[in-house]
Structure 1
Amino acid sequence: MKTIFSRSVALLALGLSLGLSSCDDKLDINPSQSIDATTALGNQANVGSAVVGMYAQLGGPTLYGTDLILVPELMAADNYIQFQGSFTQYRALVNRTTNASTSTAETTWRDAYEAINTANLVIDALPVVTTPALKSQYEGEARFVRAMLYFELVRLYGKQYEPGGANAQLGVPITLVPVKSLEQATVPQQRATVAQVYTQVINDLTSAIALLPEENPARATTFTAKALLARVYLQQSNFAQARILADDVIRNSGKALSPTLSSVFTGRNTSETLLEIQQNDQNNAGTSNNGLATFFSSIGQQGRGDVRVLPAFANLYGANDARGTASLLYEGTGTNRAAGQLRTGKWIAFGQNIPLIRLAEMYLIRAEADFRAGNIPSALVDINRVRTRSTATPLTAPQLSLATILRERQLELAFEGFRLHDLKRTRTNIFVPASGNNPAREVDINSDILVLPIPLREINVEPGLIQNPGY
């Protein structure tokens, strides 16, 4: 019997790249050479190269290169964005007609588990790393990547974590042992509960915080892990712990808000970002069918312009808010779309870096946690810090509410992959405006259709995997 790892293991055994190319201390994104997964990690240099390859896997189009950012936005499409493209798998996400055979669910699942397996291979090979500092760093990086991907998987393929509940709803399989051969791939896999997956994510990130260095150019640091753990706790509605970690990152990471929000996306590894996917014009996720700029941009011959920003959302920005002006919301000029339609300026170049974690999010987490705890003055300071960076009119204390804080999250983090997850954790239904003969309606945020199916291929090869309801 084959399991979810059978395909990836077969590829590894035939020479799937684990990123074992020549590299220096910086993240090398050049094409990697192929190696034998069962013997490759026999020395310190190869383990280090495998870590580089692990980061490169994160930037693939089915992970953060496109889908882990695009899919949560499309699944929460309401009076926010409109998908105008022809790809049936994305259109089904928007229309909430996804079935178990959708390619998006299969490829994201497959490639996430391949990257998790790379992390497991790195951890397994740590005994050959003879330099103590590197051994600690490599383990921390592997645990960080593993935690990051399990967090993404459990949010997409499992129901929302319920604070105070047993969270026995099914999540995703957890594997902490590297698969190196087809024989090892025959171990049956079952879905862990949502509670178990979150426990694993938190354990890995807690370990990563202790193992990672404070400085690690273009790669994860102890503050990157703290920031991600703050995001995890926020998703759990554990606001006290989220606040502690966000505050630590703000105070001690040495990071600072960039002068403008647009510079975060046009620059590289800015003062604001704690982690970016490293891309350049030669090596990026963008092709005719992939890449964030492919779907979001509409500039002459560049981009498909598949994601339109709706006026109802654009109008939420105030007159002085730079986030609603041409630097971050522009009228597309693409030849395949109607003139005058709005697009986001966050994703406009194939080779741009992809910010995954940035300091503004930490200010927003701290503000929300403080507001919920009754510390209104502190929450107001943090919200206005984010707003005034973009020349938005500061809020006053009477204007501050949970609704305005959550709206500020949407205004600041729009098009970055947060939308669906924020609606789920706040139990906010999705408003679908009227269209043609279809009246306006609401989609229950707990609906089964807002959870991705376990890929049909995985169900077929591993009967122990239980399909999500509705598929």
Structure 2
Amino acid sequence: MKTKHYFFILSLVIIYTISSCEKFLDITPSTGNVNPSTLKDFQEMLNSDSIARCNFILADLMADDLSFPAFARNEFYGNSYMYAQHIWGPGEMDFMYKSAYERILQMNILILKASEVKPKNEDEKKGLAIAIAQAKVNRAWYFLQLANIYGQDFTNGKAATELAIPISLVPDASVKPKRGTVQAVYDLVIAELTDAIATPDFPVMGNTIIHPGKASALALLSRTYLLMGNYAEALKAADECLALKSSLLDYKTLTASPLKLLDQSRNPEVLLGKTGVDYDLNLTYAFKIQISKSLDSLFTSSDYRRRLNFDYYDIFANEDGKYHFNYSIAVPEVMLIKAESLARTGKPKEALPILNLLRKNRIENATDLQVADIEILPTVLQERRRELFCHGGLRLFDLKRLNREQRFLKNIVRSFYDSENYQDTTVAIIKPNSPRYLMEIAPLITNNNKDIIPNPR
């Protein structure tokens, strides 16, 4: 019975993968094989740009970087923004959860099937090992995303007991795993990335930006350790990553913010391309989503990030009638991880040159910062917010971990403009460490698997 389940799911996923492959940087899939068994099959699975396309807009709406329209109520966009009692209706499927696990399933199939192949020669052995390493990096990226959207932050001191997400590592539809702990997911992510980095001949960069390499694995490892509060290891991984690749893009040369996958392919900063587009969001909210006042207050008029992403009326840029989002792992994030880790490990002055270098590539006529040691960490965190807004939930993840520190506690305030009284009206205040920081697991999911315990609301 399990074998039948396996090959049914295998066929569906490989058909999905091959059919969704688009020509990307002149590499085109050429097989419809539903039972991958050769190195070429696995490489073509990894070339599917569907692996790089995802949508975590709800995690960004839950943060404090965007302002959503007043009429956004009673549907999952508005419910997420308002931290509502329920996000999903009884028949609604969570697209973030579903699409992420579809991609994890693809990587599970690749890792299992590639591990079963007996290589004919050393070149094939090396190629299979690299394909498995790349699949593990992709799988780790999705597991880390899901754990931080549906689970508590690692830094709350209860990672060993708090529930995160189901850990699914086998392509078997009959297996319905329970939610693993936060600790278990992070341990898996670290193991996946460590294995990939240690793979012989694992290239620094993949063939294209959608193919992971050692640099992106180290970058993701540094992100993981930062979210754990393990700043020494975060600093070590960031340093190793930046020793391999540290290119920056000068924003003065841009006319639009690089958001699409092809934009990312031309961006020298990108270590692993991940982008999102939301068509449904545009149908109702085109030209209506604005920058929040708290984020706007951090930008100066000379900051190209503000100019390129928001218009004169503070509207978030949407291109070609669609909202696009950049979720890529890139050099600036690694620089900021290094800067934060330095500031938190007794070397705040060493963080300033990192910030100044990034700012010179982001701000017109930027001058070097002059900041007292005690203010360097807050300055790093502000720069992180400017650089990584709408980045697949990273700001939400930061809010959760920073709420564990008294000096960074923050209420999330939701207010709408009252046109009759010409003033903002507060309609919701979300306290630090509220259980509603955790995304609701859709009833469709919990009803299908009774072992998945819902998040408290």
TM-score interval w.r.t. the shorter chain?
A: 0.7 to 0.9
The 2-side partners of 1:23 and 1:89 are apart by 29
CA-to-aligned-CA distance 1:421-441 (integer Å, 9 cap, x gap): 111111143331654585486
| Amino acid of the structure 1 residue aligned with 2:305 | R
Q: How does 1:433-444 map to 2 (within 5 A)?
A: 434-435=415-416, 436=418, 438-439=425-426, 442-444=429-431
- Residue 451 of structure 1: which of 419, 438, 456 is its match? 438
Task: Give 1:275's aligned residue.
Answer: 272
CA contact (8 A) 2:46 2:135 kept: yes
- 2:364 is the counterpart of 1:374: no
Distance 2:325 2:435 in 1: 34
CA distance in 2 between partners of 1:419 and 1:104 (Å): 26
Q: Report the secondary structure of 1:186's partner residue.
A: coil
Task: Name the structure 1 match of 2:223.
Answer: 231
Query: Could you tell which deviates more after superposition, 355-364 or 256-265?
Result: 256-265
Structure 1 residue aligned with 2:82: 95
Give the Cα–Cα distance (whole angstroms) in 1 for the partners of residues 24 and 12 of structure 2. Answer: 28
Instruction: State the 1:382 CA deviation.
Output: 0.9
Q: Secondary structure at the match of 2:179?
A: coil
How many residue pairs are counted as aligned between the two chains? 422
Change (3 A) 1:246 1:258: same
Shift of 1:20: 3.2
Distance 1:152 1:319 in 2: 32
- The match for 1:258 is 249
- By how many angstroms is 1:310 displaced? 3.3
Correspondence for 1:82: 68
User: Is the contact between residue 258 and residue 264 of structure 1 (CA under 8 Å) also seen in structure 2?
Assistant: no
Tell me whether 415-424 or 308-317 shows the greater mean CA deviation. Answer: 308-317
Q: Verify the 8 A CA contact 2:29 2:47 in the aligned structure 1.
A: no
Instruction: Please name the residue that 1:56 is paired with.
Output: 50
Paired residues of 1:430 and 1:442 also in contact (CA < 8 A)? yes
Contact 2:287 2:316 in 1 (8 A): no
1:243 to 225, 235, 239: 235
Q: How does 1:66-465 map to 2 (within 5 A)?
A: 67-68=55-56, 70-77=57-64, 80-83=66-69, 86=72, 88-99=75-86, 101-102=88-89, 106-126=94-114, 127-128=116-117, 130=119, 131-162=124-155, 165-179=158-172, 185-211=173-199, 212-216=202-206, 217-218=208-209, 219-253=211-245, 255-260=246-251, 262=254, 265=258, 267-269=263-265, 270-277=267-274, 285=277, 287=279, 289=280, 294=282, 304-325=286-307, 327-331=308-312, 341-345=313-317, 348-349=319-320, 354=326, 356-391=328-363, 392-398=366-372, 400-417=375-392, 418-427=394-403, 428-432=409-413, 434-435=415-416, 436=418, 438-439=425-426, 442-465=429-452
Letter in 2 for 1:238: N
Name the aligned partner's letter for residue 256 of structure 1.
S
Provide, for residues 72-109 of structure 1, a one-character-per-residue CA deviation record: whole Å limited to 9, x for no partner: 2211137x533467582100011111526357762221
Cα 1:138/1:16, change in 2 over 3 Å:
closer
Q: Which runs of 5+ in 2 are unaligned?
A: 404-408, 419-423
Instruction: Answer whether contact 1:295 1:307 (CA < 8 A) is retained.
Output: no
Matched-pair contact (CA < 8 Å) for 2:226–2:337: yes
Q: Which is worse superposed, 18-27 or 461-470? A: 18-27
* 1:84–1:308 contact (8 Å) kept in structure 2: no
Q: Which residue of 1 aligns with 2:421?
A: none
Query: Could you list the per-position Cα deviations for residues 365-397 of structure 1 after superposition, in whole angstroms to 9, with x for gaps in the alignment?
Result: 111111111212211111111122223443103
